Amino acid sequence: MSSSQANNQYFSPMEMMAEAEKFALSKAKKSSSMTLSLAVMAGAFIGLAFLFYITVTTGSADAGWGLSRFAGGLAFSMGLILIVICGGELFTSSVLTSIAWANKQISLGKMLSTWAKVYFGNFIGAMLLLVIVSAAGLYQMDGGQWGLNALNIAQHKLHHTMVQAFALGILCNLLVCLAIWLTFSSANAMTKAAMTIMPVAMFVSSGFEHCVANMFMVPLGIVIQNFAPESFWQMTGTTAAQYADLNVMQFVTANLIPVTLGNIVGGAVLVGLANWCIYRRPQLKAASIATITTTTEITSVKENTMNNNIIVKDIMNTQPITLSAEMTTPKAIDHLLSNHAVSAPVTDIEGRLVGFFSAHDIMVELWCQDYIPTQGQKVVDLMARDVIAIDVNDKLVDVAEFLCIDKEQLFPTTSMGMATRFSTLSLEERAKSIKVSKPHVLPVLENGQMVGVVGRLEVLEAMRSIYGKPTEVVEDQKQTA
């Protein structure tokens, strides 16, 4: 691997912000079933990590308090590594969707519903693992010391004041989301995994509070306190009464609610929105690029028998690829190539149309520069700003005519309406002989906001019915006749 290729694996802070934006938006775009399934998986992963933590710290008193907890923290990092590499949905990292909300890519309701689905899924995953662990009787390992360690950890979590639990929740998710943020610096899986270890080890060894981890840890203590046999208490020299405060109500009010609120502040605000304010908000405030909010008026010049009820809204692509004005030219080219496209509309951070970028713009620029790319060049430097946009309610027949007929060549006249050229050819013959240069893709606006695009492919597909049934269907009917 060359040094340039190796360097390309690491992203600058600004590029990390772009990765974070994709990360945040991708979470909101997943279907409910996928979100819940991945959240259940993540809840189980965090529970497994806590099992590892309990095992590592049990019977380690001679190793020293700090070293024992540090070893446990390293073990617990397995949970976040599994989530990052396997793609689980963890509530404490899902709060980074606050970035997509700040970018106005999703609504507040969509953001909160995503959080709720992930939170519920994490809880289900933790409970499923708890059932399996309880059935396995892991609490009896090491003469019951494993279970006693779990009881003491769970009980300690319920002895914080509300303010302490809230503050510990903030500190915890500050580190968890920073760990996730570090993974945006590289595309390499091993590097991503390594990036998560130290922040997670710090939050665990320092006793910070993680709501999803607590969904497994405290209920585990409650189960041991209520269902452990008498032999367990005899082995450990303790009684169930010593852990009477381990109950559901105490867990929810003294720990889960304040810790969850703290996790939201630590992740959504101190990491997500803080980085957004540093890297993206200045671009929002910069109004150097004017938005395109007006459409080109298009009407047919001849009567036709085609269905006039089909409008652009019925045929447009509502999820087109778009480019950011601040995107570098190489990244824009990669984005076009990965989507098998030669052009795309350019939008600002709020999704408003500001220009259009095409392979033609790139090739002309390279020709002018003797095929030596300009360093640091961005999409805004090359994009066309005189963009032809159409309205969502324009008719299909008008769009079709606009794309293939040049009215100025078909009816050459002066501004006073005087003909500048005479021809003996019919209207149809003139239409076929003229050379038309029109865009292949037209952005679609609704009330000044871009809502999709219409290209020649969409128009052709909508007009296919004029020729009757698809060829394969007709041939199949002939064979079966």
Is the separation of the CB atoms in 353 and 320 below 8 Å?
A: no
Coil, strand or helix at 147: helix
Higher pLDDT, 56 or 437: 56
> pLDDT tens digits for 353-408?
888 898 888 898 888 888 888 887 888 888 888 888 888 888 888 888 787 776 55
Total residues belonging to the chain? 481
Q: Any idea what DSSP says for residue 311?
A: B
Is the separation of the CB atoms in 200 and 53 below 8 Å?
A: no
Distance CA 428, CA 421 (A): 16
- For residue 415, is pLDDT > 70? no
Paired with 378 in beta bridges are: 328
Per-residue confidence (pLDDT) for residue 4, from 0 to 100: 42
Is the separation of the CB atoms in 255 and 222 below 8 Å?
A: no
Domain ranges of the chain: 13-280, 312-466
> pLDDT tens digits for 149-189?
999 999 999 999 999 999 999 999 999 999 999 999 988 88
Average pLDDT over residues 333-360: 87
Per-residue confidence (pLDDT) for residue 160, from 0 to 100: 93
Average pLDDT over residues 187-193: 90
Instruction: Give the CA-trace dihedral at 126, 130, 132, 138, to 10 degrees.
Output: 130
Superfamily of domain 13-280: Glycerol uptake facilitator protein. (1.20.1080.10)
Is the separation of the CB atoms in 349 and 284 below 8 Å?
A: yes
The winner for highest mean pLDDT among 76-90, 398-412, 419-433 is: 76-90
Per-residue confidence (pLDDT) for residue 136, from 0 to 100: 93
> pLDDT tens digits for 23-66?
999 998 899 999 999 999 999 999 999 999 999 999 876 677 78
Is the separation of the CB atoms in 114 and 97 below 8 Å?
A: yes
The structure's pTM equals: 0.64
Distance CA 459, CA 436 (A): 17
The winner for highest mean pLDDT among 206-220, 276-290, 373-387, 443-457 is: 206-220
The winner for highest mean pLDDT among 275-289, 424-438, 447-461 is: 447-461
Coil, strand or helix at 406: coil
> pLDDT tens digits for 80-119?
999 999 999 999 999 999 999 988 888 899 999 999 999 9
- pLDDT band with cut points at 50, 70 and 90 for residue 475: low
Is the separation of the CB atoms in 50 and 218 below 8 Å?
A: no
Average pLDDT over residues 269-281: 90
CATH 3.90.180.10 fits 312-466, yes or no: no
Nearest to 120 by CA among 96, 87, 90: 90
Per-residue confidence (pLDDT) for residue 432, from 0 to 100: 57
Per-residue confidence (pLDDT) for residue 6, from 0 to 100: 44
Quick one: residue 455, left, alpha or beta (phi over 0 = left, psi -120 to 50 = alpha)? beta
Average pLDDT over residues 200-207: 92
For tokens 């032999």, the residue is 231
Average confidence score pLDDT of the chain: 85
Nearest to 80 by CA among 194, 246, 248: 194
Higher pLDDT, 197 or 369: 197
